[in-house]
Structure 1
Amino acid sequence: MSRATILLMLPALLVLTLFGVVLASFASVSLMVLDPGSAVFHGPPTLANYTRLLGSEGAWRAVLTTLRLSAEITVLCVLFGYPLARVLARSHSRSLRRVILFCLVATFLSGGVTRAYAWLIILGNQGLINQGLRAVGLPRAALINNEFAVVVSVLNFVLPFFVLTLFGALRTIPEQLEHAARNLGASRLRSFVSVTLPLSLPGLAAATSLCFALSLGAFLFPQMLGGGRVHVLATAIYDRIQASYDIPSAAALAVLFFLLVLLMLAVVGGLRRLVAVRFAGEAA
């Protein structure tokens, strides 16, 4: 390995080392014991925090809620994001593409807190939607402090990542292949199912894995829009620190959360490889 290559890798290695140090500190704190009635923790190292968490119904409920909501958000990203990415990749109108790209990029220009408060204004009891419902004589709907608000807000956060990732994959698929399929008698739906969809599967797998990973780690939107009623792993860690000052238990839950994310990413990576192998075999 040349000296220039090492110098180029040095910044990334320093960042990874920093992440490793933080994770190691969390792991070491998770082996400590909290003194009752205080925020002081001490050794010797023990696995009591992990044993208590693995036997905790609340912790398992947070795990299942996190996985379920992340899966729902990922499915919604596919349903809403794939057509939008296809329009963005295949539209011959430059103005339409610019408008879509502007709307997607504009979401990155506003912070997460700003977007969370915007959804509070839209979905709140006195929000825009409920005011519209009352204007037409309909009863007020409970659109906030529940899983619906969390799914909508997190979907708004991750959908641009999904669309832009899939857009890059769809742009690499020659449009002439679809024209050739239609010239051979295939309908638009048949050409999409038989040509475009199989060729876009690797990009779709990458986009869904990114969407799922971002949904797993979402904290701000469940915290602000869940109203304390939607317990995911990120908010469970926060509650253990802010409410009970149980830092060792929070650290143990963070380590388990990290291992869960690694496991899910490994599963998604395996599925991506299977898709890539099958795609390569069909292409051959």
Structure 2
Amino acid sequence: MSRTALLLALPAALILLLFVAVLGSFASVSFMVLEPGTAVFHGPASLANYTKLLASEGAWKAVLNTLRLAAEISALCVLAGYPLALLLARSGSRGLRRFILFCLVATFLSGGVTRAYAWLIILGNKGLVNQAAQAIGLPRMALINNEFAVVVSVLNFILPFFVLTLFGALRTIAQPLEHAARNLGASRMRCFLHVTLPLSLPGLAAATSLCFALSLGAFLFPQMLGGGRVQVLATAIYERIQASYDIPAAAALAMLFFVLVLLMLLAVGALRRAASARFAPEAA
């Protein structure tokens, strides 16, 4: 490798080294023991924190809730985002494409806290939805401090990532293949099921894995819109630090979280490679 290439790679290598150093720090702290009644932790190294976590019903509940919610949100992303990405990639109207892209990109201009408070205003007990419901004679609905609010807010946050990722994959599919299928007598649905969908599976797997990873690490929306009633791994780590100052236990839970995310991404990556080899060998 040339000296120029090494210099260009140096910033990325330094950032990666920083991430590894932080992860190593968390790993080392997770083996320490908290001094009872204080926020001081010390050695020697012990597996006590991991033993407690593996035996903790609350920790396993947080793990299962995190996986279930991430799977639900990812499935909703596919159902809502695939038609939008297909419309964006195949629409003949330049104005419509620009409008959709503008709406997607505009969501990145507002921060997560802003969007969380916006959803509180929309879904709150005296929010826009409940005011509209009461105006037509419907009873007030509990739309916040539950899983519904968490799913809606997280879906709103990650859907643009899904659509833009899948849009790039759909744009690489040669449209003459679809035209050939239509000319041979295939209906629009048959063309989609036998041509477009199989060729888009690698991109769909990539977009879904991105959404699944973002859903696994969601903290702000479960914390603000879940009202403490929706326990996920990120909020469980936060509570261990803020409530009991048990940093070693929080570090151990963070390491288990990291291993869980890594295993899930490896599994999704294997599925993506299998889809590439099966349906788009030229892209593998």
CA distance, structure 1, for counterparts of residue 155 and residue 120 of structure 2: 15
Residue by residue over 1:157-216, the C-alpha shift from the partner in whole angstroms, topping out at 9 and shown as x without a partner, is: 110000000001111112222222111111000011111111111111110011101111
Amino acid at match of 1:41: F
Counterpart residue identity of residue 126, structure 2: Q
Structure-1 residue corresponding to 2:133: 133
Map residues 68-107 of structure 1 onto 2, 5 A cutoff: 68-107=68-107
Residue 144 of structure 2: aligned partner: 144
Following superposition, the deviation at residue 95 of structure 1 comes to: 1.0
How far, CA to CA, are the matches of 1:70 and 1:267 in structure 2?
A: 15
Which residue is equivalent to 1:170? 170
Q: Which runs of 4+ in 1 moved over 6 A?
A: none
Q: Secondary structure of the equivalent of 2:185?
A: coil
Cα shift readout 1:47-88 (whole Å, capped 9, x = no counterpart): 100000010000000000000000000000000000000000
Distance in 2 (CA, whole Å) between partners of 1:282 and 1:114 is 43
Per the alignment, residue 191 of structure 1 pairs with 191
Matched, 1:205 2:205: yes
What displacement does 1:245 show? 0.5
CA distance in structure 2 between the aligned counterparts of 1:168 and 1:281, rounded to whole angstroms = 18
Q: Which amino acid aligns with 1:233?
A: L
In structure 2, how many angstroms separate the alpha carbons of the residues matched to 1:104 and 1:228?
A: 30
Change in 2 beyond 3 A, CA 1:189/1:241 = same
Structure 2, unmatched stretches of 5+, are none
Q: Is the 8 A contact 2:116 2:225 kept in 1?
A: yes
Q: Distance in 2 between matches of 1:72 and 1:111?
A: 23
Matched, 1:10 2:7: no
Q: Deviations over 1:113-136 (max 9, x none)?
A: 000000000111101000011000
Counterpart contact for 2:91–2:97, Cα < 8 Å: yes
Aligned to 1:268: 268
CA–CA separation in structure 1 for the residues paired with 2:68 and 2:190: 32
Give the CA RMSD over aligned residues. 1.1
Q: Is the CA contact (8 Å cut-off) linking 2:199 and 2:280 kept in structure 1?
A: no
Give the AA of the match of 1:202: P
1:221-278 CA distances to partner (integer Å, 9 max, x unpaired)? Answer: 0000000000000000000000111101001100111111111111111111111111
| Equivalent position amino acid for 1:257 in 2 | F
CA distance in 2, matches of 1:2, 1:129: 60
Q: How far 1:281 moved relative to its partner? A: 5.6
Are positions 1:58 and 2:58 aligned together?
Answer: yes
Can you give the 5+ residue segments of structure 1 that lack an aligned partner in the other structure? none
Task: Tell me if 1:33 matches 2:33.
Answer: yes
Pairing of 1:201-240 with structure 2 (within 5 A) = 201-240=201-240
Distance apart, 1:37 and its partner CA: 1.1
Aligned residue runs from structure 1 range 147-162, under 5 A: 147-162=147-162
- 1:247-258 to 2 correspondences below 5 Å: 247-258=247-258
Q: Deviations over 1:19-44 (max 9, x none)?
A: 01101111111111111111111111
